[in-house]
Amino acid sequence: MHAPVLVLKDSLKRESGTKVHHANIQASKAVADIIRTTLGPRSMLKMLLDASGGIVVTNDGNAILRELDLAHPAAKACYSTMLIYLL
């Protein structure tokens, strides 16, 4: 049996513990807070800058999520779940 070969970035770190749990919760809450005020009968408008530098005013959660560029894995998971919900 050969050992598996992993090709990963040199800068990659593996972390665990409560510090990571708190970071995951915080990242998910940040994405949820962006969308929270666009839901319900009292939904509020959000002003966004799109990729070309134009201003977009919308209360569509799906449009807002499409403009986000997320790096945190938990935030990405929250993002993909919200996209399914908001379709």
The 10s digit of each residue's pLDDT in 40-87 is 888 888 898 888 889 989 888 888 888 888 888 888 888 888 878 766
Per domain, the residue ranges of the chain are: 44-87
Write down the pTM of the prediction.
0.66
User: How many Cα atoms are found within 13 Å in the side-chain-facing hemisphere of 69?
Assistant: 4
| Cα–Cα distance, 51 to 70 (Å, whole number) | 14
Element (H, E) at 49: strand 46-49
Indicate if the pLDDT at residue 29 is higher than 80.
yes
